[in-house]
Amino acid sequence: MEAAIELFGRNGFDQTTAEDIAKEAGLTERTFFRYFSDKREVLFYGADELKEHIKTLLLDAPLDVAPLEAVVGALEKAGRIFDERRDFVKKRQTVIASNPELLERELLKLDGISASMADTLINRGVVEQVATVTAEVGMTIFKIAMRNWAVSGGEKALSDTMRGLVEDLRRYWML
Amino acid sequence: MEAAIELFGRNGFDQTTAEDIAKEAGLTERTFFRYFSDKREVLFYGADELKEHIKTLLLDAPLDVAPLEAVVGALEKAGRIFDERRDFVKKRQTVIASNPELLERELLKLDGISASMADTLINRGVVEQVATVTAEVGMTIFKIAMRNWAVSGGEKALSDTMRGLVEDLRRYWML
């Protein structure tokens, strides 16, 4: 839904109606609401697929890899799909940052990914509350790296930004 | 707003109107909306004060304390206000868990506290992205410890649950 993001960026999220988006995408409003339960969902198109993709990557991590490393590794690999779309990610983040309701929805989606990773860690034998915190820490690293990467110039891949952040944390936390 | 939580618990959040809550609290609906911008806000009464309190506690941490330790320490101290109110915390969490819109709002509030702690860490000289992640990790530890503590029996204080979780993480992450 890149066209919708362009509309939001140009006219503002509140000022853009579902009808506007549907028209831009060549859909009727009725069809639009068959795909999206509300206008906010347009910004989270593909979020469920991303969640499943991350889960699969985490399941594939060797069992002798420590939980946080496994989580960060899965997120780094998943993040590769964004490398070619930095401009889109940046525009999307600007729209989300402009509206607390969108930020709420974004946090809920990230929470869903994090809960799914925690389940996978529990299946790997990690104690429940450690699994939950570790998954959330991974998501936080992903979210912050994504924000910084989106606004940064240069040719750096998202995974490099994540790796750099993990190194900074290791230094500060003495991991 | 303990009375409102009781109402939500008894009748469901969606089935309880602002009018019901206002009546229970002896307010007119108009007065209710002067205090709360929407029905969800009732569950987050005092959240701004908590944020300010945590910020003050973090400002008071000696400068030679490592960032994550300073954050966890401030949250442990702030958490003491909940020790006498475990039953209330538990009921509140049950209501929030029952409704994705409430969970969204909760995540946004926690994000606000975390952003405020990150600012304080930056003022202490911590690099921005490390400050952001560290503050969020602290909030995650707080949130998960709170959930576990609320449903646990026994006489354990919230700060003990937090401390136990931090110890578990140290073992798993080899901090």
How far is A1 from B175, CA to CA, in rounded Å? Answer: 42
What's the token pair of residue B113?
């506290």
pLDDT for residue B174: 57
B89-110 in b/e burial notation, b at 16+ Cβ within 10 A? Answer: bbbbbebbeebebbbbbbbbbb
Put simply, whether A127 touches B (Cβ < 8 Å) is: yes
Contact B172 A126 (CB under 8 A): yes
pLDDT for residue B169: 86
**Facing residue for B173 by CB, picked from A68, A103, A165:** A68
pLDDT for residue B172: 78
Which residues in chain B touch residue A68, judged by CB atoms under 8 angstroms apart? 172-173
Mean pLDDT on A54-77: 94
Look-up: residue for tokens 């915190």?
A133
A138-160 in b/e burial notation, b at 16+ Cβ within 10 A? Answer: bbbbbbbbbbbbbeeeeeeebbe
Domain extent listing, chain A: 1-44, 46-173
Mean pLDDT on B148-157: 85
Helix (H, G, I), strand (E, B) or coil at B31: helix
Would the pLDDT of A140 be above 50? Answer: yes
How far is B166 from B76, CA to CA, in rounded Å? Answer: 11
How far is B45 from B53, CA to CA, in rounded Å? Answer: 14
How far is A122 from A59, CA to CA, in rounded Å? Answer: 11
pLDDT for residue A174: 56
Of all residues in chain B, the percent with pLDDT exceeding 90 is 72
Lowest mean pLDDT among A153-157, B20-24, B81-85: A153-157
Please state, rounded to an integer, the average pLDDT across all residues of chain A: 91
Kindly report the nearest CA distance between residue B101 and chain A, in angstroms. 9
ipTM of the complex: 0.76
Mean pLDDT on B124-142: 93
Would the pLDDT of B168 be above 90? Answer: no
Contact between A13 and A95 (Cβ < 8 Å) = yes
Put simply, whether B3 touches A (Cβ < 8 Å) is: no
List, for residues A10-29, the tens digit of each pLDDT value: 999 999 999 999 998 888 98
Would the pLDDT of B150 be above 60? Answer: yes
Kindly report the nearest CA distance between residue A26 and chain B, in angstroms. 30
What is this structure's pTM?
A: 0.83
Interface probe for B, chosen from A96, A107, A124 (most Cβ of B below 10 Å), is: A107
Considering the domain B46-173, what is its CATH architecture?
Orthogonal Bundle (1.10)
pLDDT for residue B175: 46
List, in order, residues 6 or more apart from A36 with CB less than 8 Å away: A18, A42, A45
List, in order, residues 6 or more apart from B64 with CB less than 8 Å away: none
Does the domain at residues A1-44 carry the CATH identifier 1.10.10.60? Answer: yes
Question: Hey, what amino acid is at A100?
Answer: P
**DSSP conformational letter for A34:** H
pLDDT for residue A83: 92
Kindly report the nearest CA distance between residue A70 and chain B, in angstroms. 12
**Facing residue for B169 by CB, picked from A130, A141, A144:** A130
* Closest CA relative to residue B103, chosen from B75, B157, B143, B163: B143
How far is A126 from A119, CA to CA, in rounded Å? Answer: 9
Which residues in chain B touch residue A130, judged by CB atoms under 8 angstroms apart? 165, 168-169, 172
Put simply, whether A97 touches B (Cβ < 8 Å) is: no
Kindly report the nearest CA distance between residue B106 and chain A, in angstroms. 9
Mean pLDDT on A58-79: 94
Put simply, whether B135 touches A (Cβ < 8 Å) is: no
List, for residues B63-113, the tens digit of each pLDDT value: 889 899 999 999 999 999 999 899 999 999 999 999 999 999 999 999 999
Confidence band (pLDDT; 50, 70, 90) for B144? very high
Would the pLDDT of A1 be above 90? Answer: no
In order of A37, B139, B166, the CA distances from B73 in angstroms are 42, 12, 11
Mean pLDDT on B147-173: 87
How far is A4 from B59, CA to CA, in rounded Å? Answer: 43
Put simply, whether B68 touches A (Cβ < 8 Å) is: yes
Number of other CB atoms surrounding residue B122 within 10 Å = 15
Which CATH number is B1-42's, of 1.20.140.10, 3.40.50.300, 1.10.10.60, 3.40.50.2000?
Answer: 1.10.10.60
